[in-house]
């Protein structure tokens, strides 16, 4: 195996005893162009998926070196923002509504905040917000568009004081990180007593995952941990979180976002991309038409308290 890979013990329980679920279809240099876009279609590249015999957690093993992964994310460009903006703003209103049910107007940290859509809605709802994000480009967008307090640093480097935040959120982050347990332990440390954690990640036991198997859109080279409600709950419990429960919010997808991967799959994207550009007349209309569905369909969203 190439030296740019590293093997992991189970990121949930630390054991090194697994069965292989399916092999990788990646080539040695596939990680170089690793950062994917919303044009991504099912059936792309993925790593070797294994299942821990001890705690049943499904994870990719080996992975690309953690330092390489961080470097790739820090160089990620926000090329697709005009496509995702409308539906991320819509979905994050519902995410803020979920957080509000459990904790009101206080210090909130969003880890892996991307372009800041969730933080924008959270600050409008009265939270005092802070974001961290590896992508320099996304950080600039969040500052420029929304005037948010966002830092472009790895979470590990940020050493926040103990008992600091009332709410910490991780929206679609845990599936990307090499050592999710370490992050969650640090999250617990910097939360105030009774502080709230919200973590949401794709669910490999959801209906689409079960129907599509390896062709499920969340089996892709950047997703290196595949949680279920049960494994996510177990890891939080083992770290010491209390009153853990599975929750949901309303996800949104615009007609444009649904349609673009189909065009790409049919190899019609290149000839038709100007017609369906988010700033074209048709693109604008399709970007405003939203389908809403429960996040439970494809995600596990779990809350817990310190
Ligand atoms: Zn395990």
pTM of the predicted structure, to 2 decimals: 0.92
* Residue 54 alpha carbon to ligand 1 centre in Å: 5
Measure the CA–CA gap between 244 and 255, rounded to whole angstroms.
34
39 CA to centre of ligand 1 in angstroms: 33
* Biggest distance spanned by C-alpha atoms of the chain: 56
Q: pLDDT digit string (tens) for 155-213?
A: 988 889 999 999 999 999 999 999 999 999 999 999 999 999 999 999 999 999 999 88
Ligand 1 geometric centre to CA of 22 (Å):
17
pLDDT at 288 exceeding the cut of 90: no
Task: Kindly report which listed range (2-11, 40-49, 119-128) carries the lowest average pLDDT score.
Answer: 40-49
CATH of 81-209+221-254+285-305, one of 3.40.50.150, 3.40.50.620, 3.40.920.10, 3.40.50.10260: 3.40.50.150
Cα of 221 from ligand 1 centre, angstroms: 21
Q: How far is the CA of 176 from the centre of ligand 1 (A)?
A: 17
* Calpha distance 112→53 (Å, rounded): 30
Distance 235 CA to ligand 1 centre (A): 9
Q: Give the mean pLDDT of the chain.
A: 90
**Residue percentage of the chain with pLDDT more than 70:** 95
Separation of 205 CA from ligand 1 center, angstroms? 17
- The boundaries of every CATH 3.40.50.150 domain in the chain are 81-209+221-254+285-305
- pLDDT at position 132: 97
- What confidence tens digit (pLDDT) does each residue in 257-270 have? 888 878 877 888 78
Distance in Å, CA 182 to ligand 1 centroid: 14
User: Any idea of the CA torsion for 119, 197, 112, 151, to the nearest 10 degrees?
Assistant: 70
Give me ligand 1 centre to Cα 59, in Å. Answer: 9
Q: Tell me: pLDDT of 43 over 80.
A: no
Name the residue among 171, 165, 158, 169 with its Cα closest to residue 191.
165
Answer yes or no: are the C-beta atoms of 86 and 287 closer than 8 Å: yes
What is the distance in A from the centroid of ligand 1 to the CA of 289?
Answer: 42
Give, to the nearest 10 degrees, the angle between helix 229-239 and helix 180-190.
50
With beta carbons less than 8 A apart as the criterion, state whether 249 and 235 touch.
Answer: no
Cα of 141 vs centre of ligand 1, distance in Å, is 38
Q: Using the mean position of ligand 1's atoms as its centre, give its distance from the Cα of residue 172 in Å.
A: 21
Q: CA nearest 282: which of 249, 252, 259? A: 259
């Amino acid at each position: 195996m190439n030296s740019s890979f590293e093997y992991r013990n189970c990121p949930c329980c630390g054991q090194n005893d697994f069965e292989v679920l399916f092999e990788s279809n990646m080539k040695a240099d596939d990680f170089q162009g690793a950062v994917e876009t919303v044009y991504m279609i099912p059936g792309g590249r993925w790593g070797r998926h294994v299942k821990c015999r001890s705690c049943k957690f499904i994870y990719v093993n080996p992975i690309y070196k953690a330092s390489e992964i961080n470097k790739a994310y820090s160089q990620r460009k926000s090329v697709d923002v005009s496509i995702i903006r409308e539906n991320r703003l819509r979905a994050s209103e519902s995410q803020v509504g979920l957080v509000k049910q459990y904790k009101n107007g206080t210090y909130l940290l969003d880890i892996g905040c991307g372009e800041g859509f969730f933080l924008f809605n959270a600050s409008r709802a009265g939270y005092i917000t802070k974001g961290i994000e590896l992508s320099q480009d996304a950080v600039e967008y969040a500052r420029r568009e929304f005037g948010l307090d966002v830092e472009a640093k790895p979470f590990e480097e940020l050493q926040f004081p103990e008992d600091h935040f009332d709410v910490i959120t991780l929206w679609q982050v845990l599936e990307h990180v090499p050592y999710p347990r370490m992050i969650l332990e640090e999250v617990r440390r910097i939360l105030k007593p009774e502080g709230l954690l919200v973590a949401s990640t794709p669910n490999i036991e959801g209906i689409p995952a079960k129907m599509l198997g390896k062709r499920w859109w969340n089996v892709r080279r950047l997703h290196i941990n595949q949680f279920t409600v049960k494994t996510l709950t177990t890891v939080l419990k083992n770290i010491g979180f209390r009153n853990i429960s599975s929750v949901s919010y309303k996800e949104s997808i615009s007609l444009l976002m649904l349609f673009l991967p189909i065009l790409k799959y049919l190899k019609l994207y290149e000839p038709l991309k100007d017609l369906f550009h988010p700033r074209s007349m048709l693109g604008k209309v399709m970007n405003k038409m939203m389908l809403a569905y429960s996040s439970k369909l494809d995600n596990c969203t779990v809350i817990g308290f310190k």
